[in-house]
Chains A and B, each alone.
Chain A
């Protein structure tokens, strides 16, 4: 489940190549920020 979630973020980065929008720049920043927050908040192996 966790790996699926993580892969979804990576795939989300590619969406602007399929759906053209002038908001691409902000979309990419939003996805990267959300992924960073997810990494920070999710439980790591040692926790």
Chain B
């Protein structure tokens, strides 16, 4: 048997065993979707990190660092600082309000303040934004399986669908969180090994001069702002991470979650960007071929590495994709079930929706959409229109359903219209339009 197939089978069996072991007694939707609000700080941190850091890191960000230099590290570290900035302030507030009001789905925070119709619309926007994003994760898994296991792309999508849906289906949030935790540790360990191997192979580390400074040809201040703004607010606008603010068992666990996530994020970001920059140094000294397509940098590295490190690295990319995708699917399932269908008691509906959404993502994946970074950023740009509404819950007493709906419609329309015409300021414009509409309608609405 092909070594990679054997490794993937072991991974699938281990993950399934962990999900079954961790699921505990699932009686209510609160148990299924948010682990009964009883998850410890360490598991909360690891699931938060594994959910956040997708296959984009080891594929997209390595290539972006290789091609564009240290600006890629600044972009990702700015995301980290922004997330810590927001979480250290809002995570305890969101957790407290969630516990007090019994929120399970992230859109229930919007329903509480801006009405059920706003929550329904927010759910539809989340589906529009996150199904393509999740399909990219699935495409990544399928491509790795195609290359390493010698199977067809369609079979890769089918296997990816099973890997993504199974642990969420079996164990709900507990299954996802515990498998996330193990995979997160695996991702970090393999990243360390990959960096050590690359450093040794390349023969040192030096950042080529033209890539060591910003601004440069790629990282203009405008480009940096456009890419960074949606990510800076990711912690509040992306439902799969926002919902994780409901899961810690107490306030001490929240702080532990945020700080440990920060440590994980910092180490992982440094490792991944170091890898991209070191490979570029390798190109400069003739140890690594020049790769013109930035999304091919990691696949080229995998082709050079010996099997003992290439196979775990490929599997760690699959793990990164699975941990992000199944968390998104589970969160979207909670939103569809509770905010759109209105079923707030039965658990089985959530399990059915997990399967339906996974099939939808698979169909999208089979259509093969292009360029990872742009699509990942567009999804966060679409979700950015929720930001004023979420901040409004805590800071502004004005505004109701009309404000909620107008903000989402105008923000979403701006994001889509400007991205279609490839306007460079799409995220900045979405950010500004959403806030202006929110404030204007909020002032008018009684």
Q: Judging by beta carbons under 8 Å apart, are A13 and B77 in contact?
A: yes
Residues of B within 8 A of A33 (CB): 266
A24 & B212 in contact (Cβ 8 Å cutoff): yes
- B119: Cβ under 8 A from any A Cβ: no
B328-371 vs A, CB cutoff 8 Å, 1 = contact: the mask equals 00000000000000000000000000000000000000000000
Contacts of A16 in B (CB 8 A): 74, 213-214
Q: With A32-B77, A39-B259 as given contacts, are A6 and B70 in contact (CB-CB < 8 Å)?
A: no
What residues on B are CB-neighbors of A32 within 8 Å? Answer: 77, 80-81, 266, 269
Write the nearest CB–CB distance from A16 to chain B, whole angstroms: 5
| B277 in the interface (beta carbon within 8 A) | yes
Q: Which of A13, A25, A39 contacts B88 (CB 8 A)?
A: A39
A1 within 8 A of B: no
Query: With A and B bound together, what is the CA distance between A9 and B440 in angstroms?
Result: 31
Give the interface residue-count category, chain A. Answer: 20 to 34
CB distance from A26 to the nearest CB of B (A): 9
Q: Which chain B residues lie closer than 8 Å to A24 at the CB level?
A: 70, 74, 212-214
Known contacts A17-B215, A32-B80, A46-B251: A40-B259 contact under CB 8 Å: yes
Instruction: Given A17-B224, A22-B213, decide whether A44 and B81 contact each other with a Cβ distance below 8 A.
Output: no
Give the number of chain B interface residues (Cβ < 8 Å): 34
Given A28-B77, A33-B266, A39-B259: A20 and B213 interface contact (C-beta under 8 Å) = yes
Enumerate A1-47 residues with CB–CB distance to B below 8 Å: 6, 9-10, 13, 16-17, 20-22, 24-25, 28-29, 31-33, 35-36, 39-40, 42, 44-47
Q: Does B85 contact A (CB under 8 A)?
A: yes
| Interface residues, chain A, with chain B CB atoms under 8 Å away | 6, 9-10, 13, 16-17, 20-22, 24-25, 28-29, 31-33, 35-36, 39-40, 42, 44-47
* Bound Cα distance from A20 to B74, whole angstroms: 13
Given A24-B74, A39-B84, A44-B255, A29 and B270 touching (CB < 8 A)?
yes
23 A–B pairs (Cβ distance < 8 Å), ordered by A: A10-B85, A13-B77, A13-B78, A13-B81, A16-B74, A17-B214, A20-B213, A21-B213, A22-B207, A25-B73, A25-B207, A25-B273, A25-B277, A28-B70, A29-B73, A32-B269, A35-B84, A36-B84, A44-B88, A44-B251, A45-B92, A45-B93, A45-B251
- Residues of A contacting B252 with CB < 8 Å? 46
Asked if A28 and B92 make an inter-chain contact with CB atoms under 8 angstroms apart, the answer reads no
> B residues within 8 A CB of A20?
213-214
